[in-house]
Amino acid sequence: MIGYAICGSFCTISHSLEIMKRLILKGYELLPIMSDNAYNTDTRFGNADKIREQVVEITGKNIIHTIKDAEPLGPAVNLDAMIIAPCTGNTLAKIANGITDTSVCMAAKAHLRNDKPLIIALASNDALSGNLKNIGTLLNRKSIFFTPMVQDDPLKKPHSLVADFTLIEEALLQAMSGKQIPKMFI
Ligand SMILES: Cc1cc2nc3c(=O)[nH]c(=O)nc-3n(C[C@H](O)[C@H](O)[C@H](O)COP(=O)(O)O)c2cc1C
């Protein structure tokens, strides 16, 4: 079973739901996890209850969205891998710095206890500024892999990177063999 976590990059959640659907159609079993912000916040990109409904419908499972429910994901529930898509700059920075105050960070920390792969699909406006050092930190961390990223709007958002979500499955398969997709920036 693969843990599939969604953070509060609200403009990319619909893309992530499409990838979830594709993975389920291919036979993957996904355990959905949402950060508190993703789980509860209505934005111009959609209402939280509708997103939650879709996640449950796609995966057929209840959503883990509290630290308490995420904690067993390492010790008791042994995931084959965990994907965070989208991963916000906020969650990336927390994982890089050992902060565990959200459901997604808790799930990642618990999962990494088992040295199983964690695949990050980042979407952040500060990826090439405030968060660049955290990308570097996590690239050097055992069992953490990145979905290749693109500068989505270099002129208007010069510090922004967004993962190519269509490469999440490839990143997962490579990560499960202990490998990072070599071309990280596309
Ligand atoms: C409409 C909206 C869109 C956002 N988009 C992003 C985004 O694409 N990437 C990002 O890193 N943060 C984005 N944020 C900020 C995060 O939601 C915020 O940092 C939050 O604390 C993330 O919490 P989480 O990482 O626990 O989900 C957005 C916020 C709002 C309200």
Q: 91: Cβ below 6 Å to ligand 1?
A: yes
Q: 9: Cβ below 6 Å to ligand 1?
A: yes
pLDDT tens digits for range 73-114: 998 999 999 999 999 999 999 999 999 999 999 999 999 999
Task: Note the residue count of the chain.
Answer: 186
**For residue 26, what is the domain's CATH number?**
3.40.50.1950
- Quote the Cα angle for 60-63-69, to 5°: 130
Q: Are strands 2-6 and 81-87 parallel, antiparallel or unpaired?
A: parallel
Inside any domain, residue 1: no
Domain holding 59, by residue range, is: 6-157+167-176
Inside any domain, residue 162: no
Q: Fill in the amino acid letter for 57.
A: E
- The 10 Å Cβ neighbour count of residue 127 is 23
Q: 89: Cβ below 6 Å to ligand 1?
A: yes
Q: Which two tokens stand for residue 172?
A: 């997962």
Question: So what's the pLDDT on residue 75?
Answer: 87
Are 34 and 52 contacting, i.e. CB atoms less than 8 angstroms apart? yes
Are 142 and 115 contacting, i.e. CB atoms less than 8 angstroms apart? yes
90 alpha carbon to ligand 1 midpoint, in Å? 7
What total of structural domains would you count in the chain?
1
Q: Ligand 1 atom 11: the closest Cα is on which residue?
A: 88
Inside any domain, residue 50: yes
Q: Where does the pLDDT of residue 163 fall: very low under 50, low under 70, confident under 90, or very high at 90 and above?
A: very high
Which residue's entry shows tokens 């990109």? 45
- How much is the pTM? 0.98
Q: Which two tokens stand for residue 23?
A: 């993975």
Inside any domain, residue 185: no
**Which residues sit opposite 149 in a β-bridge?**
163, 185
pLDDT tens digits for range 20-47: 999 999 999 999 999 999 999 999 999 9
